[in-house]
Amino acid sequence: MSKSLFSTELKSKKMFNGIYTHTFKNKPTNALVVKKLNKVGLCNEVNGNISLTPFDSNFSFESKALVSFTEYENNYTLQIQYSFNPTIVAWLLGICFFPLGFLLFYFPYKAKEDFSDQLFVMKWEE
């Protein structure tokens, strides 16, 4: 899936999304970024692009993340857009067992919060 299509897909689903940014004075190596991000999900590098799949995922939600670098005025910014969205199964169970069924939406919310917290406390300096 191309980055632009993936980015559009992340923006179209507005349930439980977030953006994490970190600024570096010097551009970090892709190996360092992959090593650090492997603590919060399955991260690898393919043709210079870094992909990240958060660890959390189950029948009630699916998780996605998009990793990108930008350069501005001799600084490098790492940006991670992440999304934890309920699956069709969660929606069906939520509707069929209304109102208690919508408690299933707590799982993607909690996974998003945990992922966000893990990124926030990550130490980037070696």
Q: Tell me the whole-structure pTM to 2 decimals.
A: 0.82
Q: Specify the DSSP element, H or E, that contains 115.
A: helix 106-120
Q: Is 67 helix (H, G, I), strand (E, B) or coil?
A: strand
Domain boundaries, the chain: 3-120
**Which pLDDT value is given to residue 16?**
92
| pLDDT computed for residue 126 by the predictor | 58
pLDDT in tens, the chain (126 residues): 445 544 554 455 568 999 999 999 988 888 999 999 999 999 988 888 888 999 877 888 999 999 998 888 889 999 999 999 999 999 999 999 988 988 999 999 999 999 999 999 998 875
Rounded to whole angstroms, how far apart are CA atoms 107 and 122?
23
